[in-house]
Structure 1
Amino acid sequence: MKTFTPDSSIASDVIPSPNHGDRNNGRVADMILLHYTGMPDVEGAIAQLCTPGTDVSAHYIVLEDGRIVQSVPEAKRAWHAGVSSWAGEDDINSCSIGVEIINRGHDWGYPDFPSRQIAAVIALCRGIMLRRKIAAHRVLAHSDVAPARKKDPGEKFPWHLLANSGVGHWVQPAPIVRGETLKLGLISDDVANMQAALAKYGYNVPIHGKFDGPTMEVVTAFQRHFRPARVDGIADHSTMSTLHALLASLPADAMTTVTAAK
């Protein structure tokens, strides 16, 4: 299998994956998408990402000891996002760099991410952001772009540590307190306003005022990333306050234009 020169100077190895193609419509990467591998062992995860016919791949794989393997050149379109959407963009593979982080995930005990691994993720992402001029708010979770299907990298992933190093968008989550909540089945203007706020941030959520299943999935994804202390899909005061603080800290030209459903 043909090898290539790593894009990142901190990549310790190259294991080429045949599972990639050209980015569609001349698209360039302006997003980093973080995943966990969600498999019980390292060897199986790497084989899944680098074997012909599996139809999955990522640009980088970050091991638990901090080693970084590159499998797809950054210029190419890796197959890591699947059916996904963010800020009106449906071809996430064409606009993103995919980073798979070795972790067994929710189905296999979901261990903490080792500090060496997180340091490597930070260093890798900082280099990609610098080379490709990627904005901090365009470093996202797989669960952000595919909330109905994915949980990764999950609520244990330390986004606050990444943000302290300039990787990703973050505000201190509002404390969890007793109060009114928006939950499944509710129909109200408050629900529509929440949906509009989530859509402005980039989530693919309809704006029709009903707290339905897809809305709950998006709220859950938001909590996994930005308010991980309690992930339950219920829009409490903490969730809403954190969402509005994130929007307030986002550059105006970064917000997504939203339209209410007819």
Structure 2
Amino acid sequence: MDQAPARERPVTLNVPDHPAITRPDREAADAVDTVHAADARDALPHGRAEPGGLVAAYVTGPCAAVVARWAGERGITSGAVSASSLALAGLAAVWFSAGARGGLVAGAPLLAASLVLGQAGAGLARRANPFALRPDAVLDRVGELAVYAGLAAGAAAPGQSAWWLAVGAAALLSVRHTVSASYAAGRHARRPSRRGRSRRGGVARRAAESLRLPFGERFALIALTAALTDARLTFAALLAWGSAAAALTLGVRVARSPAA
């Protein structure tokens, strides 16, 4: 029986479908909830963003998923999305610095849009490399500090200085991030994170996270209080809620410590 030469035989490659290849938009959208709604309680080590509460999971999360899907379909990088988030936060700070009611109201939706883009960019970055140092967390901090400066500058325009309030809010935020990162690093070194929790438990955990005033809740608080009141009351709310959250967090950690 004649056989065709080996070079003329047809070759069939059986390559299974891979979701990262066939559905990049779905992969990008699914990655959004893994950053600001991570399975942890505090700021994570290695430059990861802090976990999210109810705002990040159920308010800005669906919008961020749409943005991430749209960016993934068009090949837009996470860095570009995060840079757009920082730019919007800067524009919000400029409007806040005017000190007028119109500027405070105009800056609020810009700040909300910045939060959505930041969450989408963080999700895209985590999908690209879950273990890499992520610059989007740094950009979030820069944008937040710029907003503090804008609010303080706007409050100083009518002659009511709020710079000491802004410095206090920024200092409290820095201390909380430093302590949380150190605690999270030690906790992750001691034990792995637990998976497979129910949706009901996830809602309860995110509600508890909201009480700790994470990134999404801070931006929502700033946007609402700035639009409805003024910068001084915004900083007062940040300091009061942030201090209470720090005390609550410290109490929970002391109660859960091995020596307790």
Q: TM-score, normalised by structure 2?
A: 0.28
Q: Of Structure 1 and Structure 2, which has the larger fraction of its residues in helix?
A: 2
Which of 1 and 2 has greater Rg?
2
Higher relative contact order (CA 8 A, sep 6+): 2
The structure whose residues are more often strand, as a share, is 1
